[in-house]
Protein backbone atom coordinates (compact mmCIF):
# COMPACT_ATOMS: atom_id res chain seq x y z
CA UNK A 1 0.00 0.00 0.00
CA UNK A 2 2.93 2.34 0.61
CA UNK A 3 3.60 4.77 3.41
CA UNK A 4 0.45 6.85 3.44
CA UNK A 5 -1.06 8.90 6.26
CA UNK A 6 -3.44 7.43 8.80
CA UNK A 7 -6.22 9.40 7.15
CA UNK A 8 -5.73 7.65 3.80
CA UNK A 9 -4.44 4.29 5.03
CA UNK A 10 -1.09 2.83 6.08
CA UNK A 11 0.75 -0.36 5.31
CA UNK A 12 0.79 -2.95 8.08
CA UNK A 13 4.52 -2.31 8.56
CA UNK A 14 3.91 1.43 8.90
CA UNK A 15 1.13 0.86 11.44
CA UNK A 16 3.34 -1.46 13.48
CA UNK A 17 6.22 1.02 13.33
CA UNK A 18 4.07 3.96 14.40
CA UNK A 19 2.61 1.94 17.29
CA UNK A 20 6.03 0.71 18.38
CA UNK A 21 7.44 4.23 18.53
CA UNK A 22 4.29 5.82 19.98
CA UNK A 23 4.37 3.41 22.93
CA UNK A 24 7.92 4.30 23.99
CA UNK A 25 7.42 5.91 27.41
CA UNK A 26 10.48 8.19 27.38
CA UNK A 27 10.04 9.57 23.89
CA UNK A 28 8.39 12.96 24.32
CA UNK A 29 7.13 14.92 21.27
CA UNK A 30 10.11 17.24 21.63
CA UNK A 31 12.57 14.35 21.74
CA UNK A 32 10.87 12.66 18.81
CA UNK A 33 11.25 15.89 16.80
CA UNK A 34 14.94 15.99 17.77
CA UNK A 35 15.43 12.39 16.55
CA UNK A 36 13.75 13.29 13.26
CA UNK A 37 15.87 16.41 12.87
CA UNK A 38 19.08 14.51 13.69
CA UNK A 39 18.32 11.71 11.23
CA UNK A 40 17.61 14.18 8.41
CA UNK A 41 20.67 16.29 9.18
CA UNK A 42 23.15 13.40 9.38
CA UNK A 43 21.60 11.66 6.38
CA UNK A 44 22.00 14.79 4.25
CA UNK A 45 25.49 15.54 5.55
CA UNK A 46 27.02 12.05 5.39
CA UNK A 47 24.75 10.25 2.96
CA UNK A 48 24.06 7.64 5.65
CA UNK A 49 23.14 7.49 9.32
CA UNK A 50 24.17 5.24 12.17
CA UNK A 51 22.81 4.65 15.65
CA UNK A 52 26.14 5.82 17.05
CA UNK A 53 25.92 9.14 15.19
CA UNK A 54 22.29 9.73 16.14
CA UNK A 55 23.01 8.82 19.76
CA UNK A 56 25.70 11.45 19.79
CA UNK A 57 23.22 13.95 18.39
CA UNK A 58 20.48 13.36 20.98
CA UNK A 59 22.83 12.73 23.89
CA UNK A 60 21.62 11.02 27.05
CA UNK A 61 18.05 12.21 26.57
CA UNK A 62 17.31 8.89 24.86
CA UNK A 63 18.79 5.58 26.00
CA UNK A 64 20.54 3.34 23.50
CA UNK A 65 17.83 0.69 24.02
CA UNK A 66 15.07 3.15 23.10
CA UNK A 67 17.02 4.39 20.08
CA UNK A 68 17.57 0.82 18.93
CA UNK A 69 13.78 0.30 19.09
CA UNK A 70 13.25 3.41 16.96
CA UNK A 71 15.80 2.23 14.38
CA UNK A 72 14.25 -1.24 14.26
CA UNK A 73 10.73 0.16 13.75
CA UNK A 74 11.86 2.60 11.06
CA UNK A 75 13.74 -0.16 9.25
CA UNK A 76 10.68 -2.44 9.31
CA UNK A 77 8.60 0.38 7.80
CA UNK A 78 11.13 1.04 5.03
CA UNK A 79 12.08 4.48 6.35
CA UNK A 80 15.65 3.32 6.95
CA UNK A 81 17.44 0.92 4.62
CA UNK A 82 20.69 -0.82 5.54
CA UNK A 83 23.48 -0.12 3.13
CA UNK A 84 25.22 -2.93 1.29
CA UNK A 85 28.96 -2.34 1.32
CA UNK A 86 30.21 -5.30 -0.68
CA UNK A 87 29.62 -8.95 -1.41
CA UNK A 88 30.34 -9.85 2.18
CA UNK A 89 26.95 -8.40 3.26
CA UNK A 90 25.49 -5.45 5.13
CA UNK A 91 27.26 -2.70 7.02
CA UNK A 92 25.06 -3.17 10.06
CA UNK A 93 25.21 0.37 11.46
CA UNK A 94 24.86 2.27 8.20
CA UNK A 95 21.42 3.24 6.93
CA UNK A 96 20.00 5.25 4.06
CA UNK A 97 17.17 7.62 5.11
CA UNK A 98 14.05 8.20 3.04
CA UNK A 99 13.22 11.80 4.12
CA UNK A 100 9.61 11.77 2.91
CA UNK A 101 8.79 8.49 4.60
CA UNK A 102 10.50 9.66 7.77
CA UNK A 103 8.43 12.86 7.91
CA UNK A 104 5.26 10.85 7.26
CA UNK A 105 5.93 8.22 9.92
CA UNK A 106 6.68 10.93 12.49
CA UNK A 107 3.31 12.55 11.71
CA UNK A 108 1.65 9.14 12.01
CA UNK A 109 3.28 8.56 15.39
CA UNK A 110 1.76 11.84 16.59
CA UNK A 111 -1.71 10.74 15.43
CA UNK A 112 -1.32 7.26 16.96
CA UNK A 113 -0.29 8.80 20.28
CA UNK A 114 -3.43 10.91 20.28
CA UNK A 115 -5.59 7.85 19.54
CA UNK A 116 -3.88 5.82 22.28
CA UNK A 117 -4.47 8.66 24.74
CA UNK A 118 -8.19 8.70 23.87
CA UNK A 119 -8.44 4.92 24.29
CA UNK A 120 -6.68 5.11 27.64
CA UNK A 121 -9.05 7.86 28.75
CA UNK A 122 -12.09 5.78 27.77
CA UNK A 123 -10.73 2.71 29.55
CA UNK A 124 -10.08 4.78 32.65
CA UNK A 125 -13.81 5.43 32.75
CA UNK A 126 -16.42 8.09 32.13
CA UNK A 127 -18.32 9.66 35.00
CA UNK A 128 -21.50 11.70 34.57
CA UNK A 129 -23.27 13.57 37.36
CA UNK A 130 -27.03 13.05 37.61
CA UNK A 131 -29.37 14.51 40.23
CA UNK A 132 -32.83 15.29 41.52
CA UNK A 133 -32.61 19.01 42.26
CA UNK A 134 -35.33 21.08 43.99
CA UNK A 135 -36.52 24.07 41.98
CA UNK A 136 -35.64 26.47 44.79
CA UNK A 137 -31.99 25.38 44.96
CA UNK A 138 -29.91 28.53 44.21
CA UNK A 139 -27.93 26.90 41.41
CA UNK A 140 -26.69 28.68 38.29
CA UNK A 141 -29.25 27.85 35.53
CA UNK A 142 -26.47 27.10 33.06
CA UNK A 143 -24.99 24.50 35.41
CA UNK A 144 -28.44 23.07 36.20
CA UNK A 145 -29.08 22.49 32.49
CA UNK A 146 -25.91 20.37 32.22
CA UNK A 147 -27.03 17.92 34.95
CA UNK A 148 -29.40 15.18 33.68
CA UNK A 149 -32.47 14.26 35.69
CA UNK A 150 -31.80 11.28 37.94
CA UNK A 151 -35.15 9.64 37.12
CA UNK A 152 -34.63 10.07 33.37
CA UNK A 153 -31.06 8.78 33.55
CA UNK A 154 -32.12 5.63 35.42
CA UNK A 155 -34.95 5.05 32.97
CA UNK A 156 -32.47 5.30 30.09
CA UNK A 157 -30.05 2.95 31.87
CA UNK A 158 -32.79 0.31 32.03
CA UNK A 159 -34.10 0.83 28.49
CA UNK A 160 -30.62 0.51 27.00
CA UNK A 161 -29.75 -2.75 28.84
CA UNK A 162 -29.22 -5.71 26.53
CA UNK A 163 -28.34 -8.69 28.76
CA UNK A 164 -28.39 -8.04 32.50
CA UNK A 165 -29.57 -5.56 35.11
CA UNK A 166 -28.66 -5.76 38.79
CA UNK A 167 -30.58 -3.42 41.10
CA UNK A 168 -29.61 -2.85 44.74
CA UNK A 169 -32.21 -0.70 46.44
CA UNK A 170 -33.11 -0.66 50.15
CA UNK A 171 -36.58 0.92 49.95
CA UNK A 172 -39.40 0.89 47.40
CA UNK A 173 -42.84 2.45 47.29
CA UNK A 174 -45.50 1.99 44.66
CA UNK A 175 -45.61 5.47 43.09
CA UNK A 176 -41.85 5.70 42.74
CA UNK A 177 -41.54 2.16 41.39
CA UNK A 178 -44.09 2.96 38.70
CA UNK A 179 -41.54 5.35 37.14
CA UNK A 180 -39.40 2.34 36.19
CA UNK A 181 -41.90 -0.55 36.14
CA UNK A 182 -42.74 -0.35 32.44
CA UNK A 183 -39.08 -0.04 31.49
CA UNK A 184 -38.23 -3.13 33.56
CA UNK A 185 -40.97 -5.19 31.89
CA UNK A 186 -39.85 -4.02 28.45
CA UNK A 187 -36.28 -5.03 29.31
CA UNK A 188 -37.56 -8.47 30.31
CA UNK A 189 -39.34 -8.77 26.95
CA UNK A 190 -35.99 -8.09 25.25
CA UNK A 191 -34.52 -11.04 27.14
CA UNK A 192 -32.69 -9.06 29.83
CA UNK A 193 -32.11 -10.91 33.11
CA UNK A 194 -33.08 -8.63 36.00
CA UNK A 195 -31.84 -9.18 39.55
CA UNK A 196 -33.40 -7.10 42.34
CA UNK A 197 -31.82 -7.06 45.81
CA UNK A 198 -33.59 -5.26 48.63
CA UNK A 199 -34.46 -5.55 52.31
CA UNK A 200 -37.57 -6.68 54.20
CA UNK A 201 -38.86 -8.73 51.26
CA UNK A 202 -39.75 -11.57 53.61
CA UNK A 203 -41.98 -9.33 55.76
CA UNK A 204 -45.57 -9.20 54.43
CA UNK A 205 -46.26 -6.04 56.44
CA UNK A 206 -43.46 -4.09 54.74
CA UNK A 207 -43.96 -1.71 51.81
CA UNK A 208 -41.11 -3.41 49.96
CA UNK A 209 -42.92 -6.74 50.12
CA UNK A 210 -46.18 -5.28 48.80
CA UNK A 211 -44.51 -3.34 45.96
CA UNK A 212 -42.50 -6.33 44.73
CA UNK A 213 -45.40 -8.78 45.12
CA UNK A 214 -47.60 -6.54 42.97
CA UNK A 215 -44.83 -6.28 40.40
CA UNK A 216 -44.43 -10.08 40.36
CA UNK A 217 -48.15 -10.45 39.67
CA UNK A 218 -47.77 -8.15 36.68
CA UNK A 219 -44.71 -10.04 35.44
CA UNK A 220 -46.68 -13.29 35.79
CA UNK A 221 -49.62 -11.86 33.88
CA UNK A 222 -47.28 -11.02 31.01
CA UNK A 223 -45.41 -14.36 31.22
CA UNK A 224 -42.13 -12.58 32.03
CA UNK A 225 -41.45 -13.85 35.55
CA UNK A 226 -38.57 -16.12 34.50
CA UNK A 227 -36.51 -13.04 33.58
CA UNK A 228 -36.54 -11.84 37.21
CA UNK A 229 -34.76 -12.88 40.39
CA UNK A 230 -35.51 -11.34 43.80
CA UNK A 231 -33.16 -11.42 46.77
CA UNK A 232 -33.36 -10.19 50.34
CA UNK A 233 -30.07 -9.00 51.78
CA UNK A 234 -29.65 -10.12 55.36
CA UNK A 235 -27.05 -8.88 57.77
CA UNK A 236 -24.55 -11.53 58.89
CA UNK A 237 -23.86 -9.66 62.13
CA UNK A 238 -25.90 -11.58 64.65
CA UNK A 239 -29.52 -10.51 65.11
CA UNK A 240 -29.15 -6.99 63.77
CA UNK A 241 -31.66 -5.67 61.26
CA UNK A 242 -30.75 -5.92 57.56
CA UNK A 243 -28.28 -3.16 56.84
CA UNK A 244 -28.41 -2.78 53.07
CA UNK A 245 -28.17 0.93 52.30
CA UNK A 246 -26.44 0.95 48.90
CA UNK A 247 -28.27 2.26 45.85
CA UNK A 248 -26.71 0.73 42.76
CA UNK A 249 -27.88 -0.28 39.29
CA UNK A 250 -25.45 -2.08 36.97
CA UNK A 251 -26.35 -2.53 33.31
CA UNK A 252 -24.60 -5.23 31.25
CA UNK A 253 -21.55 -5.06 33.56
CA UNK A 254 -20.65 -1.97 31.52
CA UNK A 255 -22.26 1.08 33.11
CA UNK A 256 -23.44 1.68 36.66
CA UNK A 257 -25.48 4.10 38.70
CA UNK A 258 -24.26 4.81 42.24
CA UNK A 259 -26.09 7.40 44.27
CA UNK A 260 -28.24 8.46 47.18
CA UNK A 261 -31.77 7.99 45.80
CA UNK A 262 -34.09 5.16 46.71
CA UNK A 263 -36.54 4.11 43.98
CA UNK A 264 -39.34 6.06 45.58
CA UNK A 265 -41.44 9.01 44.43
CA UNK A 266 -39.53 11.38 46.71
CA UNK A 267 -36.16 9.91 45.80
CA UNK A 268 -36.76 10.26 42.06
CA UNK A 269 -38.69 13.53 41.89
CA UNK A 270 -38.70 15.56 45.14
CA UNK A 271 -35.71 15.03 47.42
CA UNK A 272 -32.32 16.54 46.76
CA UNK A 273 -30.53 13.44 45.47
CA UNK A 274 -27.16 13.11 43.76
CA UNK A 275 -25.60 10.20 41.89
CA UNK A 276 -23.20 9.32 39.13
CA UNK A 277 -23.27 7.17 36.02
CA UNK A 278 -19.91 5.52 35.61
CA UNK A 279 -18.39 3.21 33.04
CA UNK A 280 -14.95 1.75 32.51
CA UNK A 281 -12.66 -1.06 33.59
CA UNK A 282 -12.90 -0.04 37.26
CA UNK A 283 -16.48 -1.34 37.32
CA UNK A 284 -15.03 -4.83 37.71
CA UNK A 285 -14.48 -4.02 41.38
CA UNK A 286 -18.06 -2.84 41.82
CA UNK A 287 -19.36 -5.90 39.97
CA UNK A 288 -17.40 -8.16 42.35
CA UNK A 289 -18.82 -6.39 45.41
CA UNK A 290 -22.39 -6.55 44.10
CA UNK A 291 -22.01 -10.20 43.16
CA UNK A 292 -20.84 -10.95 46.71
CA UNK A 293 -23.94 -9.16 48.04
CA UNK A 294 -26.18 -11.26 45.79
CA UNK A 295 -24.46 -14.46 46.87
CA UNK A 296 -24.90 -13.60 50.54
CA UNK A 297 -28.58 -12.81 50.06
CA UNK A 298 -31.57 -15.16 50.13
CA UNK A 299 -33.54 -15.75 46.94
CA UNK A 300 -37.11 -15.15 47.98
CA UNK A 301 -39.49 -15.89 45.15
CA UNK A 302 -41.02 -18.66 47.29
CA UNK A 303 -42.14 -16.00 49.78
CA UNK A 304 -44.40 -14.48 47.17
CA UNK A 305 -46.04 -17.81 46.18
CA UNK A 306 -47.90 -19.11 49.17
CA UNK A 307 -50.19 -22.14 49.26
CA UNK A 308 -53.08 -20.08 47.90
CA UNK A 309 -51.03 -19.38 44.78
CA UNK A 310 -50.28 -23.08 44.34
CA UNK A 311 -53.95 -23.92 44.71
CA UNK A 312 -54.76 -21.31 42.09
CA UNK A 313 -52.41 -22.74 39.44
CA UNK A 314 -55.36 -24.12 37.50
CA UNK A 315 -56.51 -20.55 36.95
CA UNK A 316 -53.27 -19.66 35.17
CA UNK A 317 -52.37 -20.27 31.58
CA UNK A 318 -49.99 -23.18 30.96
CA UNK A 319 -46.89 -21.01 30.47
CA UNK A 320 -47.41 -19.22 33.78
CA UNK A 321 -48.12 -22.49 35.60
CA UNK A 322 -44.81 -23.89 34.36
CA UNK A 323 -43.01 -20.68 35.32
CA UNK A 324 -44.31 -20.77 38.88
CA UNK A 325 -43.46 -24.45 39.30
CA UNK A 326 -39.92 -23.93 38.04
CA UNK A 327 -39.31 -20.84 40.14
CA UNK A 328 -40.69 -22.00 43.46
CA UNK A 329 -40.38 -25.21 45.41
CA UNK A 330 -43.84 -24.83 46.99
CA UNK A 331 -45.83 -26.07 43.99
CA UNK A 332 -45.37 -29.51 42.51
CA UNK A 333 -46.91 -30.63 39.21
CA UNK A 334 -50.02 -32.75 39.81
CA UNK A 335 -49.77 -36.31 38.57
CA UNK A 336 -51.61 -37.29 35.42
CA UNK A 337 -54.43 -39.88 35.77
CA UNK A 338 -52.27 -42.55 34.10
CA UNK A 339 -49.36 -41.83 36.44
CA UNK A 340 -51.70 -41.98 39.43
CA UNK A 341 -53.01 -45.41 38.31
CA UNK A 342 -49.42 -46.68 37.93
CA UNK A 343 -48.61 -45.40 41.43
CA UNK A 344 -51.63 -47.15 42.96
CA UNK A 345 -50.85 -50.40 41.09
CA UNK A 346 -47.27 -50.33 42.35
CA UNK A 347 -48.52 -49.63 45.87
CA UNK A 348 -50.84 -52.66 45.66
CA UNK A 349 -48.02 -54.96 44.51
CA UNK A 350 -45.79 -53.91 47.36
CA UNK A 351 -48.38 -54.73 50.02
Domains and CATH numbers, the chain: 12-123 (1.10.10.10), 126-299 (3.30.870.10)
Question: Residue 202: its pLDDT value, please?
Answer: 85
Question: Residue 123: its pLDDT value, please?
Answer: 61
Segment 260-287, tens digit of pLDDT: 999 999 999 889 999 999 987 778 889 9
pLDDT of residue 304 exceeding 80: no
Question: Residue 317: its pLDDT value, please?
Answer: 54
Task: Look up the pTM and report it.
Answer: 0.58
Q: What is the mean pLDDT of residues 234-242?
A: 58
Find residue 276's DSSP bridge partners: 129, 258
pLDDT of residue 228 exceeding 70: yes
Segment 39-49, tens digit of pLDDT: 999 999 998 99
Q: Which of 19-28, 115-124, 160-169 has the highest mean pLDDT?
A: 160-169
Pair type for strands 228-232 and 298-299: antiparallel
- Residues across the chain: 351
Question: Residue 25: its pLDDT value, please?
Answer: 83
Question: Residue 94: its pLDDT value, please?
Answer: 86
Task: Output the CA–CA distances (angstroms, integers) from residue 142 to 105, 275, 306, in the order listed.
Answer: 44, 19, 53
Question: What is the dihedral sign for C-alpha 264, 268, 273, 275?
Answer: positive
Question: Residue 92: its pLDDT value, please?
Answer: 65
Question: Residue 255: its pLDDT value, please?
Answer: 93
Q: What is the mean pLDDT of residues 238-247?
A: 71
Amino acid sequence: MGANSLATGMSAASVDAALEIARLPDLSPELLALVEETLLFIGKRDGAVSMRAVQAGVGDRLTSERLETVFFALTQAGVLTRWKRDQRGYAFDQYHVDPNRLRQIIRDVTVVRHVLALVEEQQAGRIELIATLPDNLPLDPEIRRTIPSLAAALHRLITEAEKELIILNPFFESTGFEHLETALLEAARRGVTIVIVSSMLSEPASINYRVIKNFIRQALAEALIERFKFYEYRSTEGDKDPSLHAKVIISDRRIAYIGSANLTEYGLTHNLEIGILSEGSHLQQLQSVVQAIVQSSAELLDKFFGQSTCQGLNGMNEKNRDSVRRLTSRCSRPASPAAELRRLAHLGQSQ
